[in-house]
């Protein structure tokens, strides 16, 4: 007998691109993997297509007729019904300005043409996975809200109706009375009401639990670490409404306990699956955030992260009135290196230089960045002139130790760096931009003086 397997339907993807070649390439890649496609060649057709059939993902070129990709993305993010749809720009524009603008208008990712098919597919799959997880999580949260509201309404009805609700509830529901010693101090709680789910959760039956002491006679149960909490619920009329991890097997429960006479009522639900989804989603978001801040070629922080971090540390050093230092580095005669050895060797050179600079950075707050092209930057919070120049010297020597052959260099037979350094205790007279400008002028002077050297400029000397 032939077995039938259920395969969830694939998502609907809208491709907006006026290049027949790229349409064919993307379409063949996605159709082969079972996705449903709709392809259009201009901005107006894209908006009509989205209104007619809501896609699960949009692959969007920036330069398309009638309405460009930026405006299409803005239109999607401006409406409640479409703002959740992930947008991936697929464009031949590869400047920092274009990419920053794309992320500002709300895109989820940016793929530069020409692209590698497998890389593009993995990025598309990553966004769809996040979309599925978010949708599943939203559905689960909505279901939990509906179920909980239903239970709260039923608890306000009569005892007879409550008994029927308890027996049919998907949550564990129980009620306890306080057991007190001769000084009226609570020493335990006794089960007085229990529904089938609650009994099953603690591995007992309703009949065996009723009248039994919660802590003395049932060690190791779900509520084992919550005795003091339940005492506070009864004595101080607090409401306990929290997610609680069961230490025995690591499962998660949402527990709500409220005072009921001289005792309390409790409802609980197994939310292990929801918590696992939340953790997975957080990990995915962290990974994507990390990728957004790292330069893919050199594996050090990128220019976007530089702009964020220097602003952050400027604020911190302003509050603490401590020095902030910046080092700008430039690979000497790198164009000659590329011309002589090729761009692939040039990329490898930049990677080695980035890693060499990173080896000299010792403190967690000191960060290396690819500033642009063959330029690198180092931000040194809480570091004065002397310390910054010492780090620059270490960087220069470390790159020399790499002995990357550079036959066309005019200063050495190996790759060298020119470095500009500047420091300041931030104050209202100056800005982040003025600190960077000082380091940049120092770098320019280092190159003007013959390269392969370090120049320091104080911030004050850069201000007219």
User: What is the mean predicted confidence (pLDDT) over 336-364?
Assistant: 93
Q: How far apart are CA 431 and CA 376, in angstroms?
A: 21
pLDDT reading at 291 higher than 80? no
- Distance in angstroms (rounded) separating the CA atoms of residues 351 and 353: 5
Question: Tell me, what's the pLDDT at 163?
Answer: 57
330: phi then psi, degrees, rounded to nearest 5: -135, 130
Residues 278, 353: contact at Cβ < 8 Å?
Answer: no
| Mean pLDDT, residues 301-318 taken together | 93
Q: What is the pLDDT of residue 310?
A: 94
Select the more confidently predicted residue: 206 or 423: 423
CA atoms within 13 A on the CB side of 267: 19
Q: Is the pLDDT of residue 460 over 80?
A: no
pLDDT cut 70: percent of the chain above it: 91
**How large is the average pLDDT for residues 196-201?**
81
pTM, 2 dp: 0.44
Q: Are strands 367-372 and 375-381 parallel, antiparallel or unpaired?
A: antiparallel
Whether the per-residue pLDDT at 156 is higher than 70: the answer is no
Q: What is the mean pLDDT of residues 445-450?
A: 94
Assess contact for 191 and 211: CB atoms under 8 A. yes
How far is the C-alpha of 267 from the C-alpha of 173, rounded, in Å? 4
Tell me if domain 12-115 and domain 157-274 are identical in fold: no
The pLDDT score that the predictor gives to residue 286 is 67
Average model confidence (pLDDT) for the chain? 86
The two structure tokens encoding residue 100: 């920053």
Q: What is the pLDDT of residue 6?
A: 46
Give the pLDDT of residue 18: 87
Q: What is the mean pLDDT of residues 356-376?
A: 93
Q: Name the pLDDT band for 5 (thresholds 50, 70, 90).
A: very low
Which residue would you say has higher pLDDT here, 315 or 195?
315
Q: Where are the domains of the chain?
A: 12-115, 157-274, 294-462
pLDDT score at 448: 94
Model confidence band, residue 222 (pLDDT cutoffs 50, 70, 90) = confident
351, 293 Cβ separation under 8 angstroms: no
Q: What would be the CATH architecture of the domain defined by 294-462?
A: 2-Layer Sandwich (3.30)
Max mean pLDDT range (21-30, 123-132, 167-176, 354-363): 354-363
Reported as a pLDDT band with limits 50, 70 and 90, residue 247 is low
Residues 6+ apart with CB under 8 A from 243: 252, 253, 254, 255, 271, 275
CATH class of the domain at 157-274: alpha beta
* Strand ranges of the sheet holding 324-331, from the earlier edge strand across to the other edge: 367-372, 375-381, 324-331, 417-424, 454-456
pLDDT for the residue numbered 22: 84
85-99, 102-116, 188-202, 244-258: the lowest-pLDDT one: 244-258
For position 161, what pLDDT does the model report?
A: 59
Question: Looking at the domain that runs over 12-115, which CATH code has it been given?
Answer: 3.40.50.2300
Neighbours of 392 (CB within 10 A): 27
Lowest mean pLDDT among 118-132, 201-215, 222-236, 296-310: 201-215
| Tens digits of residue pLDDT in 85-116 | 999 999 888 889 988 999 999 998 999 888 88
User: Would you state the pLDDT for residue 119?
Assistant: 85
Task: Say what the pLDDT of residue 164 is.
Answer: 63
More confident residue, 162 or 207: 207
Which H or E run contains 138?
A: helix 117-155
Q: What is the mean pLDDT of residues 428-438?
A: 92
pLDDT (mean) for 367-373: 93
374 is known as an active-site residue: yes
| pLDDT, average across residues 210-216 | 85
Band of the pLDDT at 464, cuts 50, 70, 90? very low
pLDDT of 227 over the 50 cut: yes
Q: Which member of 4, 118, 210, 374 is catalytic?
A: 374
């Amino acid at each position: 007998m032939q077995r039938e397997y259920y395969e969830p339907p694939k998502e609907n993807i809208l491709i907006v691109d006026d290049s027949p070649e790229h349409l064919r390439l993307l379409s063949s890649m996605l159709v082969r993997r079972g996705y449903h496609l709709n392809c259009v060649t201009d901005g107006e057709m894209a908006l009509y297509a989205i209104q007619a059939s809501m896609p699960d993902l949009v692959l969007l070129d920036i330069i398309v007729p009638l309405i460009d990709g930026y405006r299409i993305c803005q239109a999607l993010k401006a409406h409640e019904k479409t703002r959740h749809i992930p947008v991936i720009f697929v464009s031949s524009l590869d400047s920092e300005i274009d990419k920053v603008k794309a992320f500002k208008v709300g895109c989820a990712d940016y793929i530069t043409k020409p692209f590698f098919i497998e890389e593009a597919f993995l990025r598309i799959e990553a966004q769809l996975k996040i979309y599925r997880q978010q949708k599943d999580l939203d559905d689960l949260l909505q279901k939990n809200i509906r179920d909980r509201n239903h239970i709260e309404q039923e608890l306000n009805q009569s005892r007879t109706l409550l008994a029927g609700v308890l027996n049919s509830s998907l949550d564990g529901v129980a009620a306890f009375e306080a057991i007190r010693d001769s000084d009226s101090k609570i020493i335990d709680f006794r089960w007085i009401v229990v529904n089938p789910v609650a009994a099953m959760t603690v591995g007992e039956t309703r009949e065996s639990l009723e009248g039994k002491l919660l802590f003395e006679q049932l060690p190791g149960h779900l509520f084992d670490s919550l005795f003091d909490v339940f005492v506070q619920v009864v004595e101080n009329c607090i409401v306990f409404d929290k997610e609680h991890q069961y230490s025995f097997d690591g499962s998660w429960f949402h527990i709500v306990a409220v005072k009921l006479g001289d005792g309390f009522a409790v409802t609980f639900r197994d939310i292990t699956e929801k918590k696992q989804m939340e953790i997975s989603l957080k990990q995915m978001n962290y990974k994507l955030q990390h990728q957004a801040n790292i330069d893919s070629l050199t594996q050090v922080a990128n220019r976007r992260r530089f702009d964020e971090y220097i602003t952050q540390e400027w604020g911190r050093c302003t509050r603490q009135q401590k020095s902030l230092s910046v080092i700008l580095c430039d690979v000497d005669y790198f164009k000659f290196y590329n011309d002589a050895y090729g761009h692939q060797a040039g990329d490898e050179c930049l990677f080695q230089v980035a890693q060499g600079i990173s080896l000299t950075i010792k403190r967690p707050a000191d960060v290396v960045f690819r500033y642009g092209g063959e330029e690198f930057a180092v931000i040194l919070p809480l570091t004065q002139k002397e310390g910054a120049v010492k780090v620059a010297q270490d960087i220069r020597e470390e790159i020399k130790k790499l002995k990357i052959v550079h036959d066309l260099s005019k200063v050495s037979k190996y790759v060298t760096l020119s470095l500009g350094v500047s420091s300041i205790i931030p104050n209202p007279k100056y800005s982040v931009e003025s600190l960077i400008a000082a380091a940049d002028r120092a770098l320019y002077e280092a190159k003007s003086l013959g390269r392969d050297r370090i120049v320091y400029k104080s911030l004050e000397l850069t201000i007219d």
